[in-house]
Structure 1
Amino acid sequence: MVIPVHDVNPVRRTPYVTYALIAANVLVFLYTPGIAGSVAGDSALSQLCHLHAFLDHYAAVPQELIHHQLPRMAPTGEVGAGPRGAGCVVGPPSYDKSPPLSVFTAMFLHGSWLHLLGNMLFLLIFGNNIEDRMGHVRFTLFYVACGYAAGYGFALLNDTSTDPLIGASGAIAGVLGAYLVLYPKARVWVLVPFLVFLPLRLPAWIVLGFWFVLQAVYSSGSGVSTAGTVAYSAHVVGFLAGMLLAWPLRPGTPPPPEPRRLLWGRQARHSW
Structure 2
Amino acid sequence: MVIPVHDVNPVRRTPWVTYALIAANVLVFLSTPGLAGSVAGDGELVRLCHLQAFMDQYAAVPKELIHHQLPRLVPTGEVGVGPHGPGCVVGPPGYHKSPALSVLTAMFLHGGWLHLLGNMLFLLIFGNNVEDRMGHVRYLLFYVVCGYAAGYGFALLNASSGDPLIGASGAVAGVLGAYLVLYPRARVWVLVPFLVFLPLRLPAWMVLGFWFALQAVYSSGHGVSGAGTVAYAAHVVGFVVGMLLAWPLKPGTPAPPEPPGLLFGRRARPYYTW
Once residues 212 and 37 of structure 1 are traced to their aligned partners in structure 2, the CA distance between those partners, rounded to angstroms, is: 33
Once residues 266 and 214 of structure 1 are traced to their aligned partners in structure 2, the CA distance between those partners, rounded to angstroms, is: 29
Which position in structure 2 is the counterpart of 1:169?
Answer: 169
Tell me whether 1:212 sits opposite 2:212 in the alignment: yes
Which moved further from structure 2: 29-38 or 108-117? Answer: 29-38
Paired residue type of 1:236: V
Q: Deviations for 1:185-216, whole angstroms, at most 9, x for unmatched residues?
A: 00000000000000000000000000000000
Paired residue type of 1:233: A
Once residues 30 and 105 of structure 2 are traced to their aligned partners in structure 1, the CA distance between those partners, rounded to angstroms, is: 15
CA contact (8 A) 1:74 1:93 kept: yes
- CA offset at residue 138 of structure 1? 0.2
- CA offset at residue 227 of structure 1? 1.1
Which position in structure 1 is the counterpart of 2:74?
Answer: 74
Which position in structure 2 is the counterpart of 1:236?
Answer: 236
- CA offset at residue 224 of structure 1? 1.1
Tell me whether 1:245 sits opposite 2:238 in the alignment: no
Which moved further from structure 2: 252-261 or 144-153? Answer: 252-261
Once residues 13 and 269 of structure 1 are traced to their aligned partners in structure 2, the CA distance between those partners, rounded to angstroms, is: 34
Which moved further from structure 2: 182-191 or 27-36? Answer: 27-36
Structure 2 residue runs without a partner (length 5+): none
Once residues 267 and 209 of structure 2 are traced to their aligned partners in structure 1, the CA distance between those partners, rounded to angstroms, is: 30
RMSD across aligned positions (CA) = 1.7
Paired residue type of 1:13: R
Which position in structure 1 is the counterpart of 2:133?
Answer: 133
Once residues 174 and 129 of structure 2 are traced to their aligned partners in structure 1, the CA distance between those partners, rounded to angstroms, is: 13
- CA offset at residue 225 of structure 1? 1.6
**Structure-1-length-normalised TM-score:** 0.96
Once residues 9 and 270 of structure 2 are traced to their aligned partners in structure 1, the CA distance between those partners, rounded to angstroms, is: 20
Once residues 201 and 85 of structure 2 are traced to their aligned partners in structure 1, the CA distance between those partners, rounded to angstroms, is: 56
Tell me whether 1:148 sits opposite 2:148 in the alignment: yes
Which position in structure 2 is the counterpart of 1:11?
Answer: 11
Q: Identity of aligned pairs, percent?
A: 82
Once residues 47 and 79 of structure 2 are traced to their aligned partners in structure 1, the CA distance between those partners, rounded to angstroms, is: 10
Length, aligned pairs only: 271
Which moved further from structure 2: 219-228 or 159-168? Answer: 219-228
CA contact (8 A) 2:76 2:91 kept: yes
Paired residue type of 1:141: L
Once residues 207 and 41 of structure 1 are traced to their aligned partners in structure 2, the CA distance between those partners, rounded to angstroms, is: 43
Q: Deviations for 1:34-84, whole angstroms, at most 9, x for unmatched residues?
A: 125645120000000000000000000000001113111111101111111
Which position in structure 1 is the counterpart of 2:49?
Answer: 49
- CA offset at residue 261 of structure 1? 2.3
Once residues 37 and 262 of structure 2 are traced to their aligned partners in structure 1, the CA distance between those partners, rounded to angstroms, is: 50
**Structure-2-length-normalised TM-score:** 0.95
Note the 1:105-144 alignment, pairs <5 A: 105-144=105-144
- CA offset at residue 266 of structure 1? 9.1
Once residues 9 and 270 of structure 1 are traced to their aligned partners in structure 2, the CA distance between those partners, rounded to angstroms, is: 23
